[in-house]
């Protein structure tokens, strides 16, 4: 018996014997022609009142499908429940008539989604969107509903709730929208709250706030909560019990402390081993020779809106940005969304022209060059983009994508294609890859193609803009290892842009922390992680989920820089 069970009164223990939710042998069938016949295969688990169950797995593991089946959100008729039952307080949800199912949805079982930016109707005031739920499931008259909406908005910690209820979603930030979503889910005091990756799309500090909010609300209302995530850091923060899923099957299921500290299944062990841990910073990088790149007081202002008769608004994306990168050094640019880190990265590659400042590459000011003069430097500085799905031309063969750069610089086409095949092999793709199209590859493989494309130009500096943030954690680990391996073999310098401090800790020698267009702190990874000087850096470090959890020793990786 765990500590939790001992603290309960007998009545509560009795109530726990009939679980809130009892999933028995649930199978969900995919349409014919999908990569596997069953999205969810014979899944069995229970959820008790006053408990947070974390369902962990990578994309495609069927964790969201399970939640969608519970809410009647499966895309009928293509995807359907093929077998099993979903018992809510002992009654099978799947066997209920539609009207009864609907009264459960949003009433007894509520859900919060991953993407707060798109989960709200853009044309409806947020107060009304929350009120709709009350209108459907309660008999409250309109004025009482409005009062309740304001009360709910206040409960989820939003300022000026009365005013905010009248706002449209586009006026709200991502974190605020997610709070609205939570208020909406809580509207009818549900017994079960399903949260499908509710913090994945948020910045680390916002993530911490939302996690704290979810945890306190759950504890206050004794709700049963199913929390879907891929992040073991988050699991360590909030889970009471954990279910690990892979390819639609449950591979490990148990109390959080057991799964986190004594994982049994090889897949769980592999997932935990690929969790980046911020303690593992690298050893200091020995800077040698003249700096490869110096950014000196770079400043960029964007003009937003405006027209013939109207003045545009100025947004300072970067101000007084200075950093140096030495050959072989990896500099991490860390910050939240909108902090200007991509602006600096794009300025260095020449995609954006800063308003003032200098960018010196081996002593030459790139900003002073004209198009023609800049051209040779395009080769020397290459970029790996964030979204591997959008950054490769879907109509070109992979071999061509990789070879196009050198061909544009006068390389013989057959030679370039041969070299492309070598590079694809080097990034771990097999020989046939060159003749295929990007859509035939997974996200991780596409990012490898993106890296091969950048390497084909034989650059001296690689700018990697969030290269792993769109990838699953185990794939993330592989791509980071590949980048590190290449960096060492080719003695590449790298500017690594990321919002994830744990990732930065794993790959960077030097770290620059950005906030609101300024670099607030810059130092070696060791300094920044062990003795952060700036208050903002400290709050970022403090917000890393699961930092009090010590990854089991036998699963800890040797820090990459310590080889």
**Which is closer to another protein, CB of 180 or CB of 323?**
180
Closest approach, Cβ 546 to another protein, in A, equals 27
Distances (CA, A) of 152 to 131, 164, 304, 312: 10, 11, 34, 37
**Which is closer to another protein, CB of 110 or CB of 384?**
110
Q: Which of residues 61-80 bind another protein (CB under 8 A)?
A: 71-73
Q: Where are the alpha helices (DSSP H) in 252-307?
A: 256-261, 266-273
Taking the C-alpha atoms of residue 515 and residue 532, their distance in angstroms, rounded to an integer, is 15
Whether 459 and 380 have beta carbons less than 8 Å apart is answered as yes
Among 48, 56, 65, 105, which residue interacts with another protein (rule: CB under 8 A)?
105
Closest approach, Cβ 170 to another protein, in A, equals 5
Taking the C-alpha atoms of residue 454 and residue 465, their distance in angstroms, rounded to an integer, is 12
Q: Rounded to 5, what percent of the chain is helix, strand, coil?
A: 40, 25, 35
**Which is closer to another protein, CB of 110 or CB of 275?**
110
Report how far apart the first and last C-alpha atoms of the chain are (Å, whole number).
43
**Which is closer to another protein, CB of 77 or CB of 394?**
77
Decide: is 97 part of the binding site for another protein (CB under 8 A). Answer: no
* Binding-site size, another protein (CB under 8 A): 34
DSSP secondary structure, 184-231, as one string: HHHTT--SEEEEESTTTTS-HHHHHHHHHHHHHHHHHHT-EEEEEES-
Closest approach, Cβ 405 to another protein, in A, equals 36
Q: x-or-dash pattern for another protein, window 451-480, by CB under 8 A?
A: ------------------------------
DSSP 367: G
Closest approach, Cβ 50 to another protein, in A, equals 22
Decide: is 133 part of the binding site for another protein (CB under 8 A). Answer: yes
Closest approach, Cβ 195 to another protein, in A, equals 12
Sheet holding 313-325, edge to edge: 313-325, 293-304, 356-361, 364-365
Within 10 A of 353 (CB to CB), how many other CB atoms are there?
10
Among 309, 394, 558, 562, which residue interacts with another protein (rule: CB under 8 A)?
309
Decide: is 14 part of the binding site for another protein (CB under 8 A). Answer: no
Among 12, 132, 362, 387, which residue interacts with another protein (rule: CB under 8 A)?
132
Decide: is 28 part of the binding site for another protein (CB under 8 A). Answer: no
Helix (H/G/I), strand (E/B), else coil: 41:
strand
Decide: is 113 part of the binding site for another protein (CB under 8 A). Answer: yes
Decide: is 411 part of the binding site for another protein (CB under 8 A). Answer: no
Which stretches of the chain bind another protein, using CB under 8 A?
Answer: 71-73, 102-107, 110-111, 113, 115, 118-124, 129, 132-133, 136-137, 168, 170, 181, 184, 305, 307-310
């Amino acid at each position: 018996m765990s500590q939790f069970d001992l603290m309960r009164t007998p009545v509560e223990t009795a109530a726990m014997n009939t679980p809130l939710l009892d999933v028995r042998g649930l199978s969900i069938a995919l349409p014919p022609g999908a990569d596997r016949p069953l999205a969810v295969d014979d899944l069995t688990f229970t959820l008790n009142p006053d408990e947070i169950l974390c369902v962990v797995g990578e994309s495609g593991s069927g964790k969201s499908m399970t939640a969608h089946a519970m809410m009647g959100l499966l895309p009928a008729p293509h995807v359907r429940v093929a077998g099993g039952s979903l018992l809510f307080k002992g009654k099978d949800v799947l066997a209920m008539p539609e009207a009864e199912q609907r009264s459960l949805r949003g009433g007894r079982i509520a859900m919060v989604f991953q993407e707060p930016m798109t989960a709200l109707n853009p044309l409806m005031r947020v107060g009304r969107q929350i009120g709709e739920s009350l209108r459907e499931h309660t008999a409250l008259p309109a004025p009482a509903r409005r009062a309740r909406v304001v009360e709910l908005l206040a409960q989820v910690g939003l300022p000026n709730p009365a005013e905010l209820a009248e706002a449209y979603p586009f006026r709200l930030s991502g974190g605020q929208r997610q709070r609205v979503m939570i208020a909406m889910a809580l509207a009818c005091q549900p017994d079960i709250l399903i949260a499908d990756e509710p913090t994945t799309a948020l910045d680390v500090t916002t993530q911490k706030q939302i996690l704290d909010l979810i945890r306190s609300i759950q504890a206050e209302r004794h709700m049963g909560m199913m929390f879907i995530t891929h992040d073991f850091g988050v699991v360590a923060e909030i889970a009471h019990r954990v279910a690990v899923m892979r390819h639609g099957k449950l591979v490990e299921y148990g109390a959080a402390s057991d799964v986190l500290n004594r994982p049994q299944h090889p897949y769980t062990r592999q997932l935990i081993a690929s969790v980046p841990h911020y303690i593992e910073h690298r050893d200091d990088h020995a800077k040698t020779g003249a700096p490869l790149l110096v950014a000196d007081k770079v400043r960029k202002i964007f003009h937003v809106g405006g027209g013939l008769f109207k003045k545009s608004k100025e947004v300072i994306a970067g101000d007084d940005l200075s950093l140096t990168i030495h050959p072989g050094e990896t500099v991490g640019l860390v910050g939240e969304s909108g902090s200007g880190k991509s602006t600096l990265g794009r300025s260095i590659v020449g995609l954006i022209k800063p308003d003032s400042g200098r960018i010196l590459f081996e002593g030459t000011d790139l900003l002073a060059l004209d198009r023609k003069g800049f051209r040779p430097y395009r080769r020397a500085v290459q970029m790996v983009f964030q979204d591997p799905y959008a950054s490769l031309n879907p109509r070109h063969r992979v071999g061509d994508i990789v070879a196009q750069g050198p061909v544009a610089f006068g390389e013989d086409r057959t030679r370039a294609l041969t070299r492309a095949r070598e590079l694809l092999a080097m990034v771990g793709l097999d020989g046939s890859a060159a003749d295929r199209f990007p859509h035939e590859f997974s996200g991780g493989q596409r990012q490898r193609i993106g890296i091969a494309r950048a390497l084909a130009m034989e650059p001296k500096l690689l700018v990697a803009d969030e290269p792993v943030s769109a990838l699953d954690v185990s794939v993330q680990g592989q791509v980071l290892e590949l980048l590190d391996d290449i960096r060492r073999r080719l003695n590449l310098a790298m500017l690594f842009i990321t919002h994830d401090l744990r990732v930065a800790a794993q790959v960077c020698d030097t770290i620059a922390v950005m906030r609101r267009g300024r670099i607030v702190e810059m130092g070696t990874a060791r300094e920044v992680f062990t003795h952060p000087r700036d208050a903002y850096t400290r709050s970022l470090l403090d917000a890393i989920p699961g930092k009090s959890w010590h990854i089991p020793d036998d699963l800890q990786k040797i820090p990459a820089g310590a080889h």
